[in-house]
Amino acid sequence: MELLCCEVDPMRRALPDPNLLYDDRVLHNLLTIEERYLPQCSYFKCVQKDIQPFMRRMVATWMLEVCEEQKCEEEVFPLAMNYLDRFLAVVPTRKCHLQLLGAVCMFLASKLKETIPLTAEKLCIYTDNSIKPQELLEWELVVLGKLKWNLATVTPHDFIEHILRKVPLPKDKLLLIRKHAQTFIALCATDFNFAMYPPSMIATGSVGAAICGLQLDDGDSLTDLLAKITNTDVDCLKACQEQIEAVLVNSLQQVQQQQQQSSPSKTVDELDQASTPTDVRDINL
């Protein structure tokens, strides 16, 4: 009888499906439908009265922390932020209800993407019990209605594999590039400037920033190639990638400030859970 090692990821995953990943029709369809799921307007100007951009950042940071702590799938956080932005683009919302909305969006995104979704109770505890599970479930219905039950949003993550397989990259670096690109995508989701960008552009910019950050690029040809893959305008892509790098620098500075303020023994732990995901630090800018 063979011995079985049980110390593996308890989540059973399907293998990557070549029918989906190596077929350009899939990429083309994603590019065709992605804009349907963008928020309708820049809502701080035209819809919201009570909610300010810094509040979105606060709730986004909290959502990312919860998703990281609960080891959610990578897609859950950006997807939840997409729901949040789409809801806020149509419904004027009170400041004191914004965290509830964030929790509802995580609840929905987790149910859509995960084998074992986050529970309503757990999410309520994360709001320090400021909301009740019953309220979460009620508002789930409201959010679903406002999103017209269109939850299967195209996210930047959907493009990552399609992009990576078309860029010549050293195989041993692929895992790291993917991880960094995912981190950039999460970072973009915390920043409202990216909320109206097509997911393909964020994905392409994130892959570009990941490759450049690891100094694996060979000049302008990379940007041209990336732009071609997702039919993005080269200048837009360059601007997007620069913006992503700026957001990274900005958030690294924030982390440094936090480090200086808090005691050194705590910082590593905090950094793991804070708004900046850990591996960003490894990037050589």
Partner 1 sequence: MCQSPLGCLTADPAQLVPPWLPCVCSCHPSPVTRSAFPAAAAMPLSQSRAGQSPCSSKACRNLFGPVDHEQLQQDFEDQMKQQLEEAQQRWNFNFETETPLEGPFKWERVLVAEQAPHEVHSLVRAVISSDSRSSLAHRVPPKERVGRICPEEAQQSSKVCRAGSLQGLKRGQTTIKDFYSAKRRIVPARPRP
For partner 1, the binding residues (CB under 8 A) are 10-11, 47, 55, 58-59, 62, 65-66, 69-71, 90-92, 94-100, 116-122, 124-135, 137-139, 141-142, 145-146, 270, 273
How far, in Å, CA of 236 to CA of 223, rounded?
11
- Minimum CB distance to partner 1 smaller for 12 or for 171: 12
**Would you state the structure tokens that stand for residue 41, as one six-digit string?**
């307007």
Please choose, from the candidates 157, 57, 132, 68, the residue with its C-alpha nearest in 3D space to the C-alpha of residue 106.
Answer: 68
- Minimum CB distance to partner 1 smaller for 70 or for 204: 70
Do the beta carbons of residue 136 and residue 107 sit within 8 Å? yes
Closest contact distance (angstroms) between CB of 126 and partner 1 is: 5
- Minimum CB distance to partner 1 smaller for 78 or for 102: 102
**Would you state the structure tokens that stand for residue 282, as one six-digit string?**
């490894």
How far, in Å, CA of 29 to CA of 75, rounded?
19
Closest contact distance (angstroms) between CB of 245 and partner 1 is: 27
- Minimum CB distance to partner 1 smaller for 252 or for 271: 271
- Minimum CB distance to partner 1 smaller for 99 or for 183: 99
How far, in Å, CA of 188 to CA of 267, rounded?
23
- Minimum CB distance to partner 1 smaller for 69 or for 224: 69
Handedness of CA 21, 26, 32, 34 (dihedral sign): negative
Closest contact distance (angstroms) between CB of 11 and partner 1 is: 8
Closest contact distance (angstroms) between CB of 107 and partner 1 is: 11
Handedness of CA 242, 258, 265, 69 (dihedral sign): negative
Where does the chain have alpha helices with state H?
A: 18-21, 24-33, 43-46, 53-69, 76-88, 98-113, 120-126, 133-146, 157-164, 174-190, 199-213, 220-229, 234-261, 264-273
How far, in Å, CA of 251 to CA of 277, rounded?
10
Closest contact distance (angstroms) between CB of 23 and partner 1 is: 21
DSSP 3-state of 22: coil
- Minimum CB distance to partner 1 smaller for 1 or for 116: 116
Closest contact distance (angstroms) between CB of 255 and partner 1 is: 14
Closest contact distance (angstroms) between CB of 195 and partner 1 is: 18
- Minimum CB distance to partner 1 smaller for 145 or for 219: 145
The string of DSSP codes covering 197-245 is S-HHHHHHHHHHHHHHHTT---THHHHHHHHHHTT--HHHHHHHHHHHH
Count CA within 13 A, CB hemisphere, residue 45. Answer: 4
